[in-house]
Structure 1
Amino acid sequence: MTGQQKADRALLKLGASLLGSNYRFITPTPLTHERFLERYRAPLARDLRDVFGWSMPFTSELFSHTALDALEQAGIIEKNGDLWRSVVRWSSLNELLFVHSAYPTLQNDSVFFGPDTYRFAQAIRTLLQQRFEPIKRAVDIGCGAGVGAVIIAQARHEADVLAVDINPRAVRLTAVNAELAGTLNVTAYHSDLLNSVEGQFDLIVANPPYMNDHQQRAYRHGGGALGEALSVRIVRESLPRLEEGGTLLLYTGVAMVAAGDPFLAALKPLLSGDHFSWTYHETDPDVFGEELLKPGYESVERIAVVVLTVTRVP
């Protein structure tokens, strides 16, 4: 067994232990997390939620020597001076538990999980409740922690569900999360969108980054003038991969300007004609308002969350 495989087994064991101890943590926005920590002069973890949810530093007394050594050997925690800190975070989604990157997510290969994830999961569940056609093959593009893939796999045991991401760390954590959830019909692949996988799909879902991030961190930066480029690319490259009757569900954010919705304007030429039926609606008109203070957002009035569903007409 390789070192990475041992580390993944340790993550899986930790996740199972947290589930068994009734651990539960709902992950807020980064701004809310920051404000919560500001309540403490020097945040110091008192329990597992503080360690693996709020990403607080902790002393060695919080774990036994054996447990501390095992966590360190697996790369789950790291030492900083006299204190320790988890490099991963565990978030609850209903009865499920997902491992992803600890707060703050500063590294380019960070695997993000937050309020968008909860809304994305709900959008998928709503679609699955309305769709009665069989799903033989599905894919979660830019899977991150694998939430989309796991939700589909749980609801459609007969489906072959792929989870693809350009970030190797995301692929690794998705595999851990899928196994922890007992969804053995999920397979995680390294891929730039759908470039490394073949064939058609009955369902394609995606929750891509949509910020205009000046550091161009992969988990945040959507590209283009206002963070819309990756979402447009996903639509363009997904439509030809839909089976007849197959559906694309894209959850993303749009930087709205006075002239209107630039993402919708870019979509309309791709969806013209009789080959596709589609719906498009805002699910939240105003998120991440603090981003408007950053360079590049001078012309933006608000950032809205939208859900696009496109079905290939048989």
Structure 2
Amino acid sequence: MHLDKNLVCADQALLQLGRRLSADGYRFTCVTPATHARNNDRPVADKAHDLRDVFGWSRPFPPALISPDELAQLKRAGLVEDQGELLRSVVRWSSIDNLLLVHSAWPTESRDAVFFGPDSYRFAQLIKDFLQQHPRRVENAVDIGCGSGVAALLIAAAAPHAQVCAVDINPLALRFTAINAALAGVANVSVERSDLLEDIAGMFDLIVANPPYMLDTRQRAYRHGGGALGAELSWRIIEQARERLAVGGTLLLYTGVAIVEGRDFLLEAVRLHLAGPGFSWHYRELDPDVFGEQLLEPGYEQVERIAVVALTLTRIV
């Protein structure tokens, strides 16, 4: 990934801020947007009182609340905005295991927002469980729609001999992934712009993806899955992965599905199109009911619930 000089300076400032927060023991668990809103609606949450309020809860803060060098780094990165006499960071920092990751501030309204949240934690656990249960050596891996880069970083740390590619169509996601990789100290992650797998070459023995799976009227890249009920992107990933898995290679797909009258249409498509020799697969529901507030949105009038599912697809010949 190539950055112009101004971006390099900004990214270095953001990296230094991450190192300072890490050294100070900063930790924050990122919650759903609805939970975040409820926390920030409380009377005591009108402004920040500590670093977690500033960089986790995205609350306005008085300049004196953070150290002068932290404020200078935030300004050098161009990621602070004025709110009257207060300031507000336009990035958040969230933690998972020993990683600290920069991503977009709440609320994630912009079209190029980089999302991190409960899905990221569940996706990370899926990857960790797979790597522990399948000791096969990973040589070439790719994280499709990398976002903050959490999946790529976990794979790279677990398999330091592997070449791990993090791809996304969102330039901001690529920036943040590169910064997060530098902060984590992993050297075997490359960051590339690609629409799924279309713009990169090679075969892979591990493909992971946590794609958007909602219908979003604003079609924000981090949220909009396309198709009738948000499953189009997930199916495109399955189709492309089938062509790019090496023998013995696996696709780990973490996604959400809209359940209508008890039917999981993604599962029905998997059963229909993945039957026969060549591949083995396992499909399971990880959480039966997430993002219930989405059912109030246009297009969801017939949807009973949104479930989180995991597909493990392995090429056997």
What is the TM-score of this pair, normalised by structure 2? 0.96
Encode CA deviations 1:230-276: one digit per residue, 9 max, x unaligned: 00001011111000000000000000010510111222233121110
Cα 1:67–1:127 shift into 2, 3 Å: closer
Q: Which residue of structure 2 aligns with residue 10 of structure 1?
A: 13
Alignment partners' CA distance in 2, 1:258 and 1:127 = 32
After TM superposition, the structure 1 stretch with the greater mean CA deviation from structure 2, 129-138 or 100-109, is: 129-138
Q: Which residue of structure 1 aligns with residue 129 of structure 2?
A: 126
- Whether the 8 Å contact between 2:108 and 2:115 is mirrored in structure 1 is yes
Q: Are 1:270 and 2:255 an aligned pair? A: no
Structure 1: runs of 5+ lacking an equivalent: none
Q: How does 1:128-147 map to 2 (within 5 A)?
A: 128-147=131-150
- Whether the 8 Å contact between 2:257 and 2:306 is mirrored in structure 1 is yes
Q: Which residue of structure 1 aligns with residue 29 of structure 2?
A: 26
Q: Which residue of structure 2 aligns with residue 281 of structure 1?
A: 284
Alignment partners' CA distance in 1, 2:75 and 2:218 = 30
1:81 CA drift (Å): 2.0
Q: How does 1:1-314 map to 2 (within 5 A)?
A: 2-40=5-43, 43-65=46-68, 67-314=70-317
Alignment partners' CA distance in 2, 1:59 and 1:132 = 50
Alignment partners' CA distance in 2, 1:264 and 1:43 = 44
- Whether the 8 Å contact between 2:13 and 2:76 is mirrored in structure 1 is no
Alignment partners' CA distance in 2, 1:232 and 1:67 = 43
Give the secondary-structure state (helix, strand or coil) at the position aligned to 1:253. Answer: strand
Give the secondary-structure state (helix, strand or coil) at the position aligned to 1:300. Answer: coil
Encode CA deviations 1:133-169: one digit per residue, 9 max, x unaligned: 1111000000000011001001011100000000010
- Whether the 8 Å contact between 1:236 and 1:270 is mirrored in structure 2 is no
Alignment partners' CA distance in 1, 2:69 and 2:130 = 46
Alignment partners' CA distance in 2, 1:276 and 1:97 = 36
Give the secondary-structure state (helix, strand or coil) at the position aligned to 1:269. Answer: helix
Equivalent AA in structure 2 for residue 219 of structure 1? Y
Give the secondary-structure state (helix, strand or coil) at the position aligned to 1:268. Answer: helix
Equivalent AA in structure 2 for residue 277 of structure 1? S
1:109 CA drift (Å): 0.4
1:66 CA drift (Å): 5.0
Encode CA deviations 1:18-69: one digit per residue, 9 max, x unaligned: 1100100000100000000111266111111000000000111213455434
After TM superposition, the structure 1 stretch with the greater mean CA deviation from structure 2, 67-76 or 143-152, is: 67-76
Alignment partners' CA distance in 1, 2:74 and 2:180 = 18
Structure 2: runs of 5+ lacking an equivalent: none
1:71 CA drift (Å): 1.9
Give the secondary-structure state (helix, strand or coil) at the position aligned to 1:309. Answer: strand
Percentage identity across aligned positions? 59
Equivalent AA in structure 2 for residue 307 of structure 1? A
Equivalent AA in structure 2 for residue 147 of structure 1? V
- Whether the 8 Å contact between 2:169 and 2:194 is mirrored in structure 1 is yes
Cα 1:242–1:66 shift into 2, 3 Å: closer
- Whether the 8 Å contact between 2:14 and 2:73 is mirrored in structure 1 is no
Alignment partners' CA distance in 2, 1:146 and 1:71 = 21
- Whether the 8 Å contact between 2:112 and 2:170 is mirrored in structure 1 is yes
- Whether the 8 Å contact between 1:245 and 1:311 is mirrored in structure 2 is yes
- Whether the 8 Å contact between 2:17 and 2:70 is mirrored in structure 1 is no
- Whether the 8 Å contact between 2:147 and 2:168 is mirrored in structure 1 is yes
Give the secondary-structure state (helix, strand or coil) at the position aligned to 2:227. Answer: coil
Encode CA deviations 1:79-123: one digit per residue, 9 max, x unaligned: 122210001000010111000000000000000000000000000
After TM superposition, the structure 1 stretch with the greater mean CA deviation from structure 2, 74-83 or 197-206, is: 74-83
What is the TM-score of this pair, normalised by structure 1? 0.97
Alignment partners' CA distance in 1, 2:44 and 2:153 = 39
Alignment partners' CA distance in 1, 2:145 and 2:45 = 36
Alignment partners' CA distance in 1, 2:271 and 2:145 = 23
- Aligned pair count reads 314
Give the secondary-structure state (helix, strand or coil) at the position aligned to 2:119. Answer: helix
